[in-house]
Structure 1
Amino acid sequence: MPADPPALRPARVPDGGLYEGRRTLRRVPADWTDRPYDRFELVPQGRVIGAEVRGVDLSRPLDPALRAELNRALLEWKVLFFRGQHLEPAAQRDFARNWGELETNPLLDRGSSAEVVRFDKGGDAAPTFENVWHADVTFRERPALGAVLQIREAPPVGGDTMWADMAAAYDNLSDEIKERIDGATAVHDFLPGFARFFGPERLAPMQEVFPPVEHPVVRTHPETGRKLLFVNTSFTTHLTGMPRRESDELLRQLVQQAHVPEYQVRFRWQAGDVAFWDNRATQHYAVDDYAPHRRVAERVAIAGDRPY
């Protein structure tokens, strides 16, 4: 007779914990038809997210066909990288305007115009508040559609930015979690993300400008139709109508999904590089590992629609 297997002590993984093993990695919707790009070369940087676009000069106006092809690439890869563009702020704004009205953000340092946000970090500069997984301005009723970021000065090492695909994050939730969040909403507020760095004198006047808003926990992408996990560490305070402890536990599980490397791409910047990302479909994280060196970037954001 075969010997009994050796006995093991009792052990369990906490409910809702992350798991190891194969994950579902779908870059595009199941019914999406992949087609070649005719106007540029596209070089994937990750399995589901991130691609470098070669052969496009962003300082020149986009004709309708090129704009359409870049938009398709954005939908398919969620963040696009353009090396060595060295755009003037006006050209950066003009490129972003191909996707709609530009957004202003009175909470952040202004660049050469109201639409340009400037991040000047490192050395004796104020501490960074981008090294946390987040989507931009989800505390607005209409969070940004996307953003165009250019690095003006890159540190000799470090200062990378990472992006996570929140469709992949949703796809890999358990069926039990998906049922719990189906139709749920969450409250988003600017204060948690900014109160760590700014005092009441600066933030109090903004409370009426940016009151808390509710968004679906799972939003639908308006162009691809994919379901996207739409909560983040910086601005999501709680799930609506749920006891605080239950909300905190569930929200903790949900925001952890952005941390999975299989859903991510990481970009090493050089001065003059540009990234254009879909803020509806991604979260991002600016790695704060370059002090005492400087990292200077300028961002232009595109106003979005109300999540549904």
Structure 2
Amino acid sequence: MTATDAAPAAVLRAARIPQDGLHEGPRTLHRLPEGSEERPYELFELVPRARTIGAEIRGVDLSHPLTPALFEELDRALLEWKVLFFRSQHLTSDRQRAFAGNWGELETNPLLAAGSSEDVVRFDKGAGGVRTFENVWHTDVTFRERPALGAVLQLREVPPSGGDTMWADMAAAYDNLPQDVKDRVDDARAVHDFIPGFIRFYGPERLAAFQDLFPPVEHPVVRTHPVTGRRMLFVNTSFTTRIVGMDRDESDRLLRLLFQQAHVPEYQVRFRWQPGDIAFWDNRATQHYAVNDYDGHRRIAERVTIAGDRPR
């Protein structure tokens, strides 16, 4: 065959996928900050539940006060795994509060139903009840100037199937952003407001009473963890309304891209509850999603939240 007889080069039709979506292919999954040293845990067994986020702690009875050594190991586990699971604890509300109080002052939330005290939120979700903050990825109370450090959630009654909770690692989400997106968001700030998150459940009359208590606040789009130094996405669907200094269309488009990052399975862990189970998560480093797939059944949970610092 001569050069003039060579087959013509293949020509493909024009085709493209929409920009600013989730990219395909492998992802970088670092559980620890760069340069961190792996250390064993000596006071309990830790069983990983996903690559970068979520671990079950075995051999700890949370009904007893924590010793300083046990607190240090649990605190390190929380920072390294971002959400910890404890099976069959069956804590009283007071013991749940005491456990959470090891990490700081407890927070109240007048927008949610209280349990046995002001700092215990009770989610009692039966058939036809108001199902607050299910089926949406979010980080708790980012509408506050100082959003929560973390939360301790206990399930008191679970449906026969369904009702799982999922968490997403927002440090992994940041790590895998394209560099051009990182360049746009690294120094950006965003506005957070409680109204978009709560208007789905409550009418304007109820929310209007809290507008002065919770005015809109600004936080970094990418915050730095105050202990680990990890950079993490800090915007969420429930409360982040716009990026400061951008026109509305540009802000909406960029926020939609950032919101999508919590949906990547490689960044997630999913927990199937049993009565008496506890989940303790670092609210600074995660988003979570309560799965509403148990219609016709009851699910009762109690949450205690630890006050946090101003994001930087």
Which blocks of at least 5 consecutive residues in structure 1 are unaligned? none
Shift of 1:4: 4.4
Aligned to 1:76: 80
TM-score, reference length from structure 1:
0.98
Question: Is 1:141 aligned with 2:112?
Answer: no
Q: 1:219-253, CA deviations, whole angstroms, 9 ceiling, x for partnerless residues?
A: 00000000000000000000011100000000000
Aligned to 1:183: 187
Shift of 1:128: 3.6
Residue pair 1:122, 1:290 contacting (<8 A) in 2 also: no
Aligned to 2:251: 247
**Equivalent runs, 1:122-133 vs 2, <5 Å:** 122-133=126-137
Residue pair 1:143, 1:305 contacting (<8 A) in 2 also: yes
Aligned to 1:227: 231
Q: 1:90-123, CA deviations, whole angstroms, 9 ceiling, x for partnerless residues?
A: 0000000000000000000111100100011131
**Equivalent runs, 1:43-192 vs 2, <5 Å:** 43-192=47-196
* Structure 2 letter corresponding to 1:252: R
Residue pair 1:189, 1:211 contacting (<8 A) in 2 also: yes
C-alpha distance in structure 1 between counterparts of 2:236 and 2:254, whole Å? 12
Work out the number of aligned pairs and report it.
308
Quick one: structure 1 residues 5 and 35, their matched pair in 2 at CA, closer, same or farther if it must change by over 3 Å? Answer: farther
Secondary structure, aligned partner of 1:266: strand
C-alpha distance in structure 1 between counterparts of 2:152 and 2:266, whole Å? 24
* Structure 2 letter corresponding to 1:154: V
Aligned to 1:199: 203
**Equivalent residue in structure 1 for 2:11, among 7, 10, 22:** 7
Question: Is 1:258 aligned with 2:293?
Answer: no
Aligned to 1:299: 303
Shift of 1:5: 5.1
TM-score, reference length from structure 2:
0.97
* Structure 2 letter corresponding to 1:237: T
Secondary structure, aligned partner of 1:49: coil
C-alpha distance in structure 1 between counterparts of 2:245 and 2:170, whole Å? 24
Greater radius of gyration (CA): 2
Shift of 1:177: 0.4
C-alpha distance in structure 1 between counterparts of 2:240 and 2:293, whole Å? 26
Q: 1:73-106, CA deviations, whole angstroms, 9 ceiling, x for partnerless residues?
A: 0000000000000000000000000000000000
C-alpha distance in structure 2 between counterparts of 1:200 and 1:277, whole Å? 31
* Structure 1 letter corresponding to 2:27: R
Question: Is 1:39 aligned with 2:57?
Answer: no
Question: What is the CA RMSD across the aligned residues, in angstroms?
Answer: 1.0
Shift of 1:13: 2.0
C-alpha distance in structure 2 between counterparts of 1:19 and 1:174, whole Å? 9
C-alpha distance in structure 2 between counterparts of 1:127 and 1:149, whole Å? 16
Identity of aligned residues (%): 73
Which blocks of at least 5 consecutive residues in structure 2 are unaligned? none
* Structure 2 letter corresponding to 1:133: W
Aligned to 1:21: 25
C-alpha distance in structure 2 between counterparts of 1:132 and 1:300, whole Å? 20
Aligned to 1:269: 273
**Equivalent residue in structure 1 for 2:284, among 244, 260, 280:** 280
Off by >3 Å, runs of 4+ in structure 1: 1-6
Q: 1:3-24, CA deviations, whole angstroms, 9 ceiling, x for partnerless residues?
A: 4454321111222221111001
